[in-house]
Amino acid sequence: MALYYHEVFEQSVRFGIKIRKTIFEGESEYQRLEILDSDRFGRMLVLDGLFMTSEKDEFFYHEMLIQPALCTVPKLERVLVIGGGDGGSVREILRHPSVEKVVMVEIDEFVVNSCKKYLPMIGTAWDDPRLDLRFDDGIAYVKESEDEPFDVVIVDGTDPVGPGVVLFDLEFFRGCKRMLRPHGVLAMQSESPIYFEKTFVETQHKLAEIFETVRPYFGPVPIYSGGIWSWTFASDQVDPLELNEARVAAITPDSKVYNGEVHRAAFAQPNYIRKLIAG
Amino acid sequence: MALYYHEVFEQSVRFGIKIRKTIFEGESEYQRLEILDSDRFGRMLVLDGLFMTSEKDEFFYHEMLIQPALCTVPKLERVLVIGGGDGGSVREILRHPSVEKVVMVEIDEFVVNSCKKYLPMIGTAWDDPRLDLRFDDGIAYVKESEDEPFDVVIVDGTDPVGPGVVLFDLEFFRGCKRMLRPHGVLAMQSESPIYFEKTFVETQHKLAEIFETVRPYFGPVPIYSGGIWSWTFASDQVDPLELNEARVAAITPDSKVYNGEVHRAAFAQPNYIRKLIAG
């Protein structure tokens, strides 16, 4: 009997991944962390029983969270990341040479330290001098920070359970907007529109209260079962389909999923999504 | 402890769906069949332990198998379906008023009879007089039939295990081509490019030996775990991105996923897919 780790995800379905062994486990004041080794996905990060990312499939998530915003924003120098403890988002951002500074605000130092040690193939840019890593509460940061605003704000948080709930609040979104330059773009993970339909829809509506343009976009993430994942793009001035072709051309050769065609396709809305959002 | 039915799918992952009860089970000379009732997906068809389709998510699969071919082929009168025992494909085809005849060749009468009885919400077009349903071997049919050729051939078969293996053979594809008019289009389900990578790639290559244009296309199917499913479009004369806008406009209002934007987006190729196919 093979040993499967089943995600603690009670939506009347469950997804199990065959595990070779547990590499590391521990607990911070915020969450329980496991690093597992699997046949199919290599090493994996699990937080509070939820699959977060894996060595073999992380690019589906990280490229699509980061590149649509970074390949459309008119100026790309300063980027803020809330969360993103595995380091994949920062790595994707720092592929762009125009980026001068990335401020990453992650509440849980234990996640970063564990990922640095056990998932170094995901977070390959921890030593980049452009990175300013702070262990702090992202909610408070966006509300109170006096830092210069950013061209892009990325929200790379967990599911809307436990500590992740506040990352889907209107107040938090207002804080993110406060930290954006007028031409800025917010991009965030916004859950499965199937298994977290309510969160997905409410996120669109909340963002639409404060941004001129709000567009969900879609793609697969193999370890997030359900067949479809969503991210959301929000901006006052930027059209998500107007690509900076030079940036796209520069990063496409070393991307695993992202290219201009995939960018545009991700924004297509199936009829059931249009209806969900229209309400 | 909730009762989960786990798909018999040994790819080092498994997907489980919480089951309320078994509605029906039986066995034909070809396969074991179960009709289950689930919280999340309603009634489901399971063949030889593999999730085939469900009441709540079937549209993801059937609309995307059928509509891209039917909304691009220049003339749309005669359609052949190989397999498709649940009736979802025939229903999608018969939404087009220009269709004069659908020949459906399904080897297993037991599947059709069980689906007619227990999944009537999927196969809603069984009584359409344009349908010519034959219980016969599709492989032999495409090799030997003297029927007039078709505008579209749809291959709606099971996974490439057991009785489904031959539906991925070059010989079978040659038979399908034999049954097509010169302007015809073949569309088939071609598996997950992640979990059935070899089948997916070989299918592209085999079809490219006999068709001028071969293009995989992608979308989610929630009950097929893995985050991404593929279908493949093959034709000598038809460009998969040249839509018949009148047909698209006619069927979009009553489609759950399909529209012109989704059609075009489905053909976008992520970089890893381009590399897989290039070899």
Check: CATH 3.30.2320.50 for B58-278? Answer: no
Query: Domain A4-54: what homologous superfamily?
Result: Spermidine synthase, tetramerisation domain (2.30.140.10)
Whether the pLDDT of residue A224 is over 80: the answer is yes
d(CA B224, CA A233): 27
Range(s) within chain A of domains with CATH label 3.40.50.150 = 58-278
> Collapsing DSSP states into helix, strand and coil, what is residue B178?
helix
Cβ–Cβ below 8 Å for B261 and A268: yes
When computed from its CA atoms, the radius of gyration of chain B, rounded to whole angstroms, is: 18
In the 8-state DSSP scheme, what is residue A161?
Answer: S
The dihedrals phi and psi of B189, each to the nearest 5 degrees, come to: -80, 135
Residue with the two structure tokens 């773009």: A185
Per-residue confidence band for B158, with pLDDT thresholds at 50, 70 and 90? confident
pLDDT in tens, A162-188: 767 889 999 999 999 999 999 999 999
Top pLDDT among A279 and B123 is at B123
CA distances from A259 to A186, A235, B10, B251 (A): 20, 21, 32, 30
**Global pTM?**
0.96
Cβ–Cβ below 8 Å for A271 and B264: no
pLDDT in tens, B8-52: 666 788 889 999 999 999 999 999 999 999 999 999 999 999 999
Q: At what angle do helices B170-178 and B197-210 cross, to 10 degrees?
A: 40
CA-closest candidate to residue A257, choices B273, B270, B54, B209: B270
Top pLDDT among B166 and A267 is at A267
- pLDDT of amino acid A10: 65
By Cβ distance, the residue of A268, A269, A271 closest to B256 is: A271
Per-residue confidence band for A161, with pLDDT thresholds at 50, 70 and 90? confident
The dihedrals phi and psi of B70, each to the nearest 5 degrees, come to: -70, -25
For residue B17, which residues of chain A lie inside 8 Å, CB to CB?
Answer: 12-13
CA-closest candidate to residue B104, choices B91, B120, B117, B95: B91
Q: Which of A20, A21, A59, A261 to mutate to test the interface with B (most CBs of B within 10 A)?
A: A261
d(CA B200, CA B139): 20
Over residues B95-107, mean pLDDT: 98
- pLDDT of amino acid B3: 85
| Sheet hosting strand A131-135, strand order edge to edge | A131-135, A101-106, A78-83, A150-156, A180-189, A229-235, A213-219
Range(s) within chain B of domains with CATH label 2.30.140.10 = 4-54
pLDDT in tens, A26-51: 999 999 999 999 999 999 999 999 99
Q: Are B86 and B53 in contact (CB under 8 A)?
A: yes
* Weakest mean pLDDT among A91-95, A275-279, B210-214, B257-261: A275-279
CA-closest candidate to residue B90, choices B49, B134, B50: B134
> Collapsing DSSP states into helix, strand and coil, what is residue B15?
strand
Cβ–Cβ below 8 Å for A221 and B227: yes
Strand ranges in B90-171 using DSSP code E only, listed in sequence order: 101-106, 131-135, 150-156
Catalytic residue among A156, A236, A239, A254: A156
Sign (positive or negative) of CA dihedral A7, A267, A57, B194: positive
For residue A6, which residues of chain B lie inside 8 Å, CB to CB?
Answer: 16
The per-residue pLDDT of chain A, averaged, comes to: 95
Q: Are B176 and B185 in contact (CB under 8 A)?
A: no
Whether the pLDDT of residue B160 is over 90: the answer is no
CA distances from B182 to A177, B74, B207, B254 (A): 56, 11, 15, 30
pLDDT in tens, B114-131: 999 999 999 999 999 999
Q: How many CB pairs under 8 A join A and B?
A: 122
For residue A252, which residues of chain B lie inside 8 Å, CB to CB?
Answer: 271
Q: What is the identity of the amino acid at A38?
A: S
User: Pairing state of beta strands A213-219 and A229-235?
Assistant: antiparallel
Q: Rounded to 5 degrees, what angle do the CA atoms A107, A197, B49 make?
A: 105
Whether the pLDDT of residue A131 is over 90: the answer is yes
d(CA B32, CA A201): 40
> To the nearest 10°, the Cα dihedral for B193, B196, B201, B207?
-110
pLDDT in tens, B193-225: 998 999 999 999 999 999 999 999 999 999 987
ipTM higher than the 0.85 cut:
yes
CA distances from B150 to B86, B146, B209 (A): 22, 12, 20
Annotated catalytic residue B239:
no
Q: At what angle do helices B271-278 and B197-210 cross, to 10 degrees?
A: 60
